[in-house]
Structure 1
Amino acid sequence: MPDPAEHDRQKPLRPRAASAAKKSTWLIYVFGALGGLNWGYDTGVISAALLYLREDLDVGAWIEGTLVAALMIGAVVGAAVGGYFSDKYGRRAVLWATAVVFIIGPVGMALSPEWITLTVFRFVTGIGAGLAALILPVYLSELSPARLRGRTTALYALAIGVGQFLGFVIGLAFAGDISAGEVDGWRWMLGLSVVPSLLFAAGLLFVWETPRWLVQKGREDEAWEILHYDRDAAEAEREMLEIRTTIEAERTAGRTVREALTQPWVKPALLIGLGLAFYNQFMGINTVVYYTPTVLQTVGFSAEDAVASNLIVGITHILAVIFAIAMADRLGRRPLLLIGAAGAMVSLAVLGIAGLTMLPGEEELEAMEAAGQTPEAGAVGVITLVCITLYIFMFQASWGSIVWVMLGEIFPLGVRAAAMCLATTALWAANAVVAFGFPPLLDAFGVGWVFLGLAVSTLTGLIFCWVKVPETKGRSLEEIEAGFRQTGSLAVVPGTKRVVQWETDRPRD
């Protein structure tokens, strides 16, 4: 393997050009993360839109679940095909395809005459969300140096949070008096997601391809220049050598993608990725995001107050992700995941217990309905809103942000897109199941039992993290891959609560 320092094409940028490039690098990370803005907006605004479109289009719980789940089913499709296209045509090309889909979907949703057409365009928008969830963590992790990777990849989660908050604001702005027949504001709510889509497309005019993909395609001159944008000469040389070494090892192995994914040393990384993706959804986050107004109505809030309460959820989400960005490269990924799962579990358990013990029973509700009365948001309403807010902070400061960082880190370069495809497909499939099943489950069992069930699911996620998830803070992508290659398994160091190390006494694969 030639020494990159001696390669005549590996000359650093001129000092002035290098300085200008470094100053603009954070703008590239921000532009790259903007795809999360649209996904966040769509997932945020639907919670308010549901209160109105169910009246305007006369839909019940099952159709409501179908409308919400359509986006996730489309995302499964987007995640399933995105890996192939990203390996063949590049990360940046798939980002452009994502932007186009994100522009088409909102216009179709706003103009939908009935729920079937709306479902179709929700599905189309979901394809874009799946592509974004697949490619953006990979793109940001491959583009940024190891010392910044936690913060830059978490920008994607921040964009999702900002998008959700904007969705909540627009939902409140177009909320009407349902009793007065003001129910068509949902069209503006859904259609205005074309604005973040256009911002994302504009941002793509300024982003680069990733060095790792360029080296895979034999375009080392371009890769070398990009590496120098936010790395000093020694760091760029070391990373270029690591990339070349990794790619050469994968080419020498000569395996197909399927064979590579089933190698013994790859399986632990794949298991961790699939587990993180699964629990990212089965801890109930999108149940809370999509249905917060519905749940608050159940405990006595009016439709307008329930939609307004979403602003609290949105602000909490943004603050939590900012906290995660600050701590991901300091405290580490694994401690944040463990603390977040514990806090989310407690919040869900309290929600469940309050729902079972403090809400009026069926007979009491029937008596109130007969008397023309409606439940009021008393103590149980306050507890519900406080617990939802605490849950949002604990989850988004950990699993909602760090999972995207780790999914972009742990998979080997040669199968990164394919493995990310499997993980994001699993994530969106779990999202669809949760979103589709929540309205019927809420009708059948009530708030209490549903949230207790999610608390149990979160406990299993906490156990999974404790047993399986390693710490990746401060390691280059190539170092993480080398760790898996050397071991074939991971081990928690006995007697500690924070350290997961690679076993190094096993032979290489």
Structure 2
Amino acid sequence: MAEQTHKQYLRRVTYVSTFGGLLFGYDTGVINGALAYMSRPDQLNLTPAVEGFVASGLLFGAAIGSFLGGRIADAQGRRRMLLVLAIIFFFAALGCAVSPTASILIACRFVLGLAVGGASVTVPAYLAEMSPADRRGRMVTQNELMIVTGQLLAFVLNAILGVTFGETGHIWRYMLAIASLPAIVLWFGMLTMPESPRWLVLNGRISDALEVLKKIRSEKVAISKFNEIQDNLEAEKHIEKASYSDLATPWIRRIVFIGMGVSICQQISGVNSIMYYGTQILTEAGFSTEAALIGNVANGVISVLATIFGIWMMGRHGRRPLIMTGQIGTMACLLAIGILSAMLEGQAALPYVVLSLTVTFLFFQQGFLSPVTWLLLSELFPLRLRGMGMGCAVLCLWLTNFCIGSAFPYFLFTFGLSFTFYLFAAVGLLGLAFVFKFVPETKGRSLEQIEHDFRHHGEATA
């Protein structure tokens, strides 16, 4: 009975905290449908270039939020950080919804991005520190599932609102305002959640840490885990953390370079051009706005199903084969969109062909490329490089996301559907070459073995 109570408490911790992931997904996905309406002449009358900044303003904020979020959470605590992020999510979402001009909307999207970036590093850290070792993988990957679920929720609500009230130009304001509701759930939910026991021990709150551990484990296991946390923290005191000056060391520079490259490769596949601008892509192919909103739901559904499939695949196959399969699959889909959109231009079949190819693209992206990227980053950096390496890698990921998000509407408007996707396919080929040449296999290898390999390679090439 006690074990069942512990499991129920852990499930509640997981569901509440991953509302941060749900908000991450909704706020990045909702712009997909809202742009079509806010761009109208009787609304904000956005040019393609301004559309890019509206979508990517959040991404630039997320780059800063992710870079600073971990440090703030370390200083103030995971729980307190998530409470603050919930407040930012709430007011920034309402600010976006009532924005009278594009400039104010971009500013509010930037603030919203700070919360998205902060959640992207704080929620996984909180889950990892709350979970028992045998449930850590499931609890942490639940956040990734909630992110794509949030995107699916945005696509579904966009479709419902667009089809039902599409003639009302300001419907985009309601699409953006809905994001405030999960923020309320996150805030009230986190009021009932405990602080991470590891953070409590680190800050000398010993009795509080033991009390939290006893809520999620039996008393005997809780005491054992408490001693383990103390031992690990004591060991970490003697580990000299890497700083940016250590990049002068060849093997450290190489491993950070690979981490940054893996992050960039995940983004240059063009995944977020589909997640942010799917409606524009499908209307460019020939769908009406309302039909494109409905079609986007298929993209959201396949993202959720493919993520579940990817989590299953990661436990059975090596990282390199999976990430290269994802890159080859996404490149093939991008190339097919470019070729067929030129061959079938003006024909009734084109929008359905493009929709089927975007769905297939997302299967390869979310089932192979995206989940393996995050797993690879978590395995690639030895402990002393973890803070600096992950900081550099995640910053590169968000900045690449920002560049693609801001440039895509301009490319689509200036060069058309075919050329834009030819460009993504060509850049994806460079990503595949990078992984093939530089990225090591990490499955089944300890952090110490990985570090030894990089050190040995650095000495051999020095």
In the TM superposition, what whole-angstrom CA distance separates every residue of 1:12-47 from its partner, at most 9, and x where no partner exists? Answer: xxxx65552234323323333221111211222211
CA-CA distance at 1:63 after TM superposition? 1.0
SS at structure 1 position matched to 2:138: helix
CA-CA distance at 1:172 after TM superposition? 1.2
CA-CA distance at 1:194 after TM superposition? 0.7
2:109 is aligned to 122
Mapped pair 1:51 → 2:36: yes
CA-CA distance at 1:450 after TM superposition? 1.3
In the TM superposition, what whole-angstrom CA distance separates every residue of 1:473-496 from its partner, at most 9, and x where no partner exists? Answer: 567xxx42x3344343588xxxxx
Mapped pair 1:22 → 2:4: no
Bigger Cα displacement from structure 2, 92-101 vs 36-45: 92-101
State how 1:305-320 maps to structure 2 within 5 Å.
305-320=291-306
1:109 pairs with one of 96, 99, 103: 96
CA-CA distance at 1:90 after TM superposition? 2.6
Distance 1:173 1:112, change over 3 A: same
1:163 is aligned to 150
List alignment gaps of at least 5 residues for structure 2.
none
1:93 is aligned to 80
Paired amino acid for 1:46: I
1:362 is aligned to none
CA-CA distance at 1:102 after TM superposition? 0.7
In the TM superposition, what whole-angstrom CA distance separates every residue of 1:362-406 from its partner, at most 9, and x where no partner exists? Answer: xxxxxxxxxxxxx45x23222211110001111111233333344
Distance 1:149 1:102 in 2: 27
SS at structure 2 position matched to 1:59: coil
Distance 1:86 1:408, change over 3 A: farther
Distance 2:353 2:20 in 1: 34
CA contact (8 A) 1:147 1:474 kept: no
Bigger Cα displacement from structure 2, 449-458 vs 144-153: 144-153
Distance 1:121 1:316 in 2: 30
2:273 is aligned to 287
In the TM superposition, what whole-angstrom CA distance separates every residue of 1:406-428 from its partner, at most 9, and x where no partner exists? Answer: 44454455564454333222211
Distance 2:319 2:223 in 1: 25
State how 1:441-460 maps to structure 2 within 5 Å.
441-460=411-430
Distance 2:236 2:408 in 1: 44
In the TM superposition, what whole-angstrom CA distance separates every residue of 1:200-221 from its partner, at most 9, and x where no partner exists? Answer: 2233235444455445445566
Paired amino acid for 1:38: L
Distance 1:225 1:318, change over 3 A: same
Distance 1:208 1:264, change over 3 A: farther
1:304 pairs with one of 265, 277, 290: 290
Q: Which has the larger radius of gyration?
A: 1
2:190 is aligned to 204
Distance 1:235 1:391 in 2: 45
Bigger Cα displacement from structure 2, 327-336 vs 184-193: 327-336
SS at structure 2 position matched to 1:301: coil
Distance 1:488 1:232, change over 3 A: farther
CA contact (8 A) 1:352 1:451 kept: yes
CA contact (8 A) 1:31 1:206 kept: no
In the TM superposition, what whole-angstrom CA distance separates every residue of 1:141-171 from its partner, at most 9, and x where no partner exists? Answer: 4444555444332212211111111111111
CA contact (8 A) 1:83 1:420 kept: no
The number of residue pairs the alignment matches comes to: 457
Distance 1:416 1:223 in 2: 24
CA-CA distance at 1:69 after TM superposition? 1.1
Q: CA RMSD in A?
A: 3.3
CA-CA distance at 1:181 after TM superposition? 5.2
2:322 pairs with one of 336, 351, 355: 336
Paired amino acid for 2:150: G
Q: So what's the TM-score if we normalise by structure 2? A: 0.87
2:339 pairs with one of 353, 357, 370: 353
Distance 1:92 1:193 in 2: 21
Mapped pair 1:488 → 2:458: no
CA-CA distance at 1:341 after TM superposition? 1.9
Distance 1:90 1:262, change over 3 A: farther
2:22 pairs with one of 37, 42, 59: 37
Distance 1:140 1:414, change over 3 A: farther
State how 1:417-456 maps to structure 2 within 5 Å.
417-456=387-426
CA-CA distance at 1:235 after TM superposition? 11
Distance 1:99 1:223 in 2: 24
2:356 pairs with one of 386, 392, 406: 386
Distance 1:467 1:356 in 2: 33
CA-CA distance at 1:82 after TM superposition? 1.3
SS at structure 2 position matched to 1:183: coil
Identical counterparts, % of pairs = 33
Distance 1:474 1:30 in 2: 30
CA-CA distance at 1:123 after TM superposition? 1.0
Distance 1:266 1:183, change over 3 A: same
Q: So what's the TM-score if we normalise by structure 1? A: 0.79
CA contact (8 A) 1:84 1:417 kept: no
SS at structure 1 position matched to 2:139: helix
Distance 2:371 2:116 in 1: 16
1:277 is aligned to 263
Higher helix share: 2
CA contact (8 A) 1:176 1:182 kept: no
SS at structure 1 position matched to 2:238: helix
